[in-house]
Structures are given as structure tokens and as C-alpha cells.
């Protein structure tokens, strides 16, 4: 398995409409924080996120969260990434 790529050391704070979204787990997507298929051949797979009502979310972009796809503040720790 490849190493994750840190897309950013801050969460993507977004208001999402109801639907299914696919969070990028590898960090390679050009469409962060969402998957664009760049994980092919890395051993990573995107994580499905079901949103049932319009809401604000903070999605992890450092890819080291313990609560994927949501930011848990790991990017603020000195040893993150």
C-alpha cells in the first residue's frame, strides 16, 4: 500500500446537500476532499458519505483522521503526517 498524500493541513468545511459523496482517502485527488479516481493502484479506496439532510461538515484533508471522513483535529498535532 502507498503512503497517503496530505492534501491540506486544514479541514474542508462545506455545506452539503442530501446525497452520496465519496471522500478521497489517498490524498491524490485533484477534487479534494472528494475522490476523482486518482487512488487507482494505490491500495486506497474512497469512503462513501451519506448525507440525509443539508448540513455543514468538516472533512479531513490531512488523511490521518481517526474518524474518516470527518476532521478530528489530527492535522494540528506536531507529528501528523
Does 4 reside within a domain?
Answer: no
How many other CB atoms sit within 10 Å of the CB of residue 10?
13
Phi-psi map region of 80: left, alpha, beta (phi>0 left; psi -120 to 50 alpha): beta
Does 2 reside within a domain?
Answer: no
Does 40 reside within a domain?
Answer: yes
| Boundaries of domain holding 20 | 12-76
For residue 6, the model assigns a pLDDT of 95
Q: How far is CA 2 from CA 18, 27, 45, 51, in A?
A: 32, 11, 12, 29
Q: Phi and psi of 72, rounded to 5°? A: -120, 10
Does 6 reside within a domain?
Answer: no
pLDDT tens-digit map of 11-35: 999 999 999 999 999 999 999 999 9
pLDDT band at 81 (very low <50, low <70, confident <90, very high): low
Does 39 reside within a domain?
Answer: yes
**How many domains does the structure of the chain reveal?**
1
pLDDT band at 78 (very low <50, low <70, confident <90, very high): confident
Amino acid at each position: 500500500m502507498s503512503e497517503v498524500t496530505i492534501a491540506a493541513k486544514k479541514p474542508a468545511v462545506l455545506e452539503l446537500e442530501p446525497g452520496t459523496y465519496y471522500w478521497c482517502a489517498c490524498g491524490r485527488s485533484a477534487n479534494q476532499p472528494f475522490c476523482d479516481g486518482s487512488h487507482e493502484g494505490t491500495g486506497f479506496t474512497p469512503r462513501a458519505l451519506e448525507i440525509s439532510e443539508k448540513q455543514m461538515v468538516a472533512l479531513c484533508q490531512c488523511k490521518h483522521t481517526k474518524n474518516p471522513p470527518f476532521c478530528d483535529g489530527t492535522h494540528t498535532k506536531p507529528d501528523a503526517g
